[in-house]
Amino acid sequence: MFGFFEQPQIKMQKRAAKSAKSLRELAVREMLIELRMLINGQERARVMASTLFNADHEVDARKLMAAVDLAQETIDRVGRFNDGFPTELGNLQRVAASAADYEALASFELEGREFMVAVREEAKTQIVPLGVMVMEARQVLAA
C-alpha cells in the first residue's frame, strides 16, 4: 500500500521503527569499534601469556589468561546474540502490517540496541585492564 493511503497510526509506527533501526545501526558501529580493540588486546594478551608460560612465570600467565577468558566471554555473547537476532528481526519485518506490528518491530530494534550498548560498555571496561596486564607482564619478563 502506498504511504499516502496509510492510516496515520501506521505511518507514525513505521517512522518509529525506522528511527529505532537507525539507533540500533549506530550502536552496532560503536560496539564493533570497541570489540575490535578488545580482540586486538586479547590477542596481544594471549601471546604474552604464552611467553610468560615459556619463561616459567605461570602465576602471571594464569592471571593474564583469566582476563583473556573474560574478554572471550564478551565476544561469545555477541556471537550468541547474532545467532538469533537477525532471524527474529527479519520475521518481524516481514509480518509488519499494522501499527501494533510496527510498534513491536521498533521495540525489538531498541532491545537490540540496548544489548549492543551494554556489550560496548562491557568491552570498554575490559580493554584498559587487559592492556595494563600486558604491560605488567612485559615488566616481569624484563626483570
Residue 114 included in any domain: yes
Residue 97 included in any domain: yes
- At 8 the pLDDT is 84
Residue 56 included in any domain: yes
pLDDT tens track for 29-50: 999 999 999 999 999 999 999 9
Percent residues over pLDDT 90 in the chain: 89
Burial class of residue 140 (count of CB atoms within 10 Å of its CB; 0-12, 13-18, 19+): middle
Residue 1 included in any domain: no
pLDDT tens track for 90-101: 999 999 999 999
Place of cell 596486564: 133
3-class secondary-structure state, position 5: helix
pLDDT band for position 15 (50/70/90)? very high
**Closest to 32 in 3D by CA, of 108, 116, 93:** 116
Residue 40 included in any domain: yes
Residue 129 included in any domain: yes
Residue 2 included in any domain: no
Amino acid at 36: R
Answer yes or no: are the C-beta atoms of 113 and 20 closer than 8 Å.
yes
Across the chain, mean pLDDT equals: 92
What residues make up the domain containing 108? 7-142
Number of domains, the chain: 1
pLDDT tens track for 45-104: 999 999 999 999 999 999 999 999 999 999 999 999 999 999 999 999 999 999 999 999
Residue 29 included in any domain: yes
